[in-house]
Amino acid sequence: KQSIIEYLNGLLNTWIRSVFKDIGYDEEVVNNAKGYVFLYGSLALGVSSTSSDIDLLCVVPGSISEEDY
């Protein structure tokens, strides 16, 4: 599960940098932009079953707006 979260975190950060670039931030800001993917719920607690869903929370910088999604 950790490798999947790391993969999703990479996708999230690629998207964030793309949005920052489109907004017009300078290259240093774009390169340092980050978000985080957090696992929570039954899987994070270790009490999931094969039919459990996966609860993830994506946290992005505040300068990304709802329209950017």
pLDDT tens per residue, range 4-56: 899 999 999 999 999 999 999 999 999 999 999 999 988 778 888 888 888 99
| Nearest Cα to Cα of residue 59 among 41, 43, 40 | 40
Q: Find the helix or strand (DSSP H, E) in which 39 lies.
A: strand 36-40
Determine the Cα–Cα distance for residues 1 and 20; give it in Å rounded to an integer: 29
What pTM does this model have? 0.83
Determine the Cα–Cα distance for residues 43 and 57; give it in Å rounded to an integer: 13
Determine the Cα–Cα distance for residues 4 and 25; give it in Å rounded to an integer: 29
Whether the predicted pLDDT of 60 surpasses 80: yes
For residue 62, the model assigns a pLDDT of: 94
For residue 38, the model assigns a pLDDT of: 94
For residue 1, the model assigns a pLDDT of: 66
